[in-house]
């Protein structure tokens, strides 16, 4: 197998980490290589490489097609996306153009390339934002009709339609319907990173935590450790299973329970946490939950970590305490690949 990854964010970098662990040659096309990717390319130059392309490469067939063809991949993992935390996406003409470039134009170029290359397949990153929470009391599966919750979900739904049409015409292509999935690579503004930063502050100052500031403590969500879901994605690519799959935890957790659970994992590391936040006051909004039955039956595996471990690890990383990070990964071996402990990115 030869894996080509399009994009340079959290999922792209974790895919390179999975590839490193599994000995899979991996090449990443990105505008801005992240710190983990830079470290992995240094550690494993024989397997991990990247190409930094100019902004706009996803809308240029003359740039994107040769970049893909030179690596001759057997699988393409398309993670590139223009997005931000829920509620921050704009609807201006410029923003819509950026969404169209990453979710539609780039995809069309890749699908056109695959139409003449039947030996390679594509897995494209989709989103649970293609569905509205209040409309789905049952878990979302691969047959659930879309009704986008925002502009991000709208363009992901367009991409999914293109993928299904391509597959019907004989192209090996599938959509990975990701629910919330976070790691130590997640940027600011997200629930998990907000919690991690607060926990890191208290770990550093050794001040007891009486509460964790949350915008909507009672709101619920289906959230996973990104390392788990990206690992499953690479396994699907490795096995040539280019189809649609929901990737999620399959259960709901309130924001307060998420904060409380991550804090408890950090008690052995000196976090003085005395308050249980698992019974928040307020209206509990329904969450969109994913049905992971198809992916677990297809590859005989399911997520074996959780978002609590991802948040706790992110908090320890923010403290800069390398010894604590090493100890946490040893105590929670499914939280991230031990290979990450060899990178400057995790042990900052």
pLDDT at 272: 86
What is the dihedral sign for C-alpha 209, 210, 216, 221?
positive
pLDDT band (50, 70, 90) for residue 278: very low
Predicted local distance difference test score (pLDDT) of residue 275: 64
Angle (nearest 5°) at CA 184 between 331 and 105: 135
* Average pLDDT value over all residues in the chain: 90
pLDDT grade for 87, boundaries at 50, 70 and 90: very low
User: What structural domains does the chain harbor?
Assistant: 3-179+226-249 (3.40.50.720), 183-221+253-286+305-348 (no CATH)
Helix orientation angle between 10-22 and 35-43, rounded to the nearest 10 degrees: 20
As a whole-number percent, the residues of the chain with pLDDT over 70 amount to 91
Q: 125-155, pLDDT tens digit by residue? A: 999 999 987 655 689 999 999 999 899 999 9
Q: What's residue 343's pLDDT?
A: 96
Do β-strands 220-221 and 48-52 pair in parallel, antiparallel, or remain unpaired?
A: unpaired
- Alpha helix locations (H) across the chain? 10-22, 35-43, 61-71, 93-100, 106-114, 151-168, 191-205, 226-238, 255-265, 293-299, 307-319, 322-331
Q: What's the rounded mean pLDDT across residues 110-136?
A: 89
**What does the block give as tokens for 95?**
């923003």
- How far, in whole angstroms, is CA 9 from its chain's centroid? 8
Which tokens in the block code for residue 107? 């995809």
Residue that wins the pLDDT comparison between 182 and 218: 182
Give the pLDDT confidence of 11-32 residue by residue, as tens digits.
999 999 999 999 999 999 999 9
- What are the residues facing 212 on neighbouring strands? none
**26-30 and 48-52 beta bridge pairing:** parallel
pLDDT at 118 over 70: yes
pLDDT tens per residue across span 35-86: 999 999 999 999 999 999 988 889 999 999 999 999 999 999 999 986 555 5
pLDDT tens readout for residues 282-341: 455 567 899 999 999 999 877 878 999 999 999 999 999 999 999 999 999 999 999 999
Q: What is residue 285's predicted lDDT score, i.e. its pLDDT?
A: 59
pLDDT of residue 132: 86
Mean pLDDT, residues 105-133 taken together:
93
Sheet of 173-178: strands edge to edge? 48-52, 26-30, 3-6, 75-78, 121-127, 173-178, 245-247
Q: What percent of the chain has pLDDT over 90?
A: 73
The pLDDT, as a whole number, for residue 67 is: 93
pLDDT value, residue 89: 54
Indicate the DSSP class of residue 103: I
CA 27 to chain centre: 18
- What pLDDT, on the 0 to 100 scale, is given for residue 74? 97
Q: Please tell me which of 82-96, 172-186, 271-285 the model is most confident about, judged by mean pLDDT.
A: 172-186
Facing residues of 74 across strands?
none
pTM listed for this prediction: 0.93
The maximal CA–CA distance of the chain, rounded, in angstroms, is 61
Which pLDDT does position 143 carry in this prediction? 96
d(CA 149, CA 136): 12
Tokens 């509620």: give the residue: 87
- List, as own/partner pairs, every contact residues 211-215 make where C-beta atoms lie below 8 angstroms and the sequence separation is at least 24, other chains included: 211/275, 211/277, 212/259, 212/260, 212/263, 212/277, 214/255, 214/256, 214/259, 214/277, 214/280, 215/191, 215/255
Residue 23: DSSP 8-state: T
């Amino acid at each position: 197998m030869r894996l080509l990854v399009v994009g340079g964010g959290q999922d792209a970098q974790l895919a390179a980490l999975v590839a490193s662990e599994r000995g899979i040659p991996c090449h990443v096309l990105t505008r801005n290589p992240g710190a983990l990717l830079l470290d992995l390319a240094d550690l494993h130059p024989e397997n991990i490489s990247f190409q930094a392309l100019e902004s706009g490469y996803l809308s240029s067939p003359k740039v994107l097609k040769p970049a893909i063809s030179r690596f001759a991949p057997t699988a393409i993992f398309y993670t590139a996306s223009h997005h931000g935390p829920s509620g921050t996406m704009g609807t201006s003409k410029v923003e819509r153009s950026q969404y169209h470039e990453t979710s539609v134009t780039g995809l069309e170029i890749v699908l056109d390339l695959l139409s003449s290359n039947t030996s390679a397949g594509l897995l494209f990153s989709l989103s649970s934002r293609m569905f509205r929470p209040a409309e789905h009391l049952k878990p979302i599966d691969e047959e659930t009709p879309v009704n986008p919750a925002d502009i991000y979900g709208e363009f992901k739904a367009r991409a999914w339609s293109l993928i299904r049409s391509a597959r019907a015409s004989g192209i090996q292509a599938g959509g990975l319907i990701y629910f919330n999935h976070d790691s130590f690579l997640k940027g600011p503004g997200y629930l998990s990173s907000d919690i991690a930063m607060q926990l890191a502050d208290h770990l550093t100052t050794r001040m007891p935590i009486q509460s964790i500031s949350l915008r909507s403590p009672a709101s619920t969500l289906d959230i996973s450790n990104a390392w788990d879901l990206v690992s499953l994605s690479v396994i699907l690519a490795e096995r040539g299973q280019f189809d649609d799959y929901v990737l999620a935890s399959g259960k709901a957790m309130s924001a307060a329970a998420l904060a409380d659970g991550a804090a408890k994992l950090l008690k052995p590391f000196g976090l003085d946490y005395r308050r249980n936040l698992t019974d928040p006051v307020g209206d509990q909004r329904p969450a969109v939950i994913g049905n992971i039955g198809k992916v677990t039956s297809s590859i005989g595996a399911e997520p074996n970590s959780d978002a609590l471990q991802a948040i706790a690890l992110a908090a320890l990383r923010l403290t800069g305490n390398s010894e604590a990070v090493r100890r946490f990964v040893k105590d929670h071996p499914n939280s991230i690949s031990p290979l990450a402990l060899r990178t400057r990115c995790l042990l900052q």
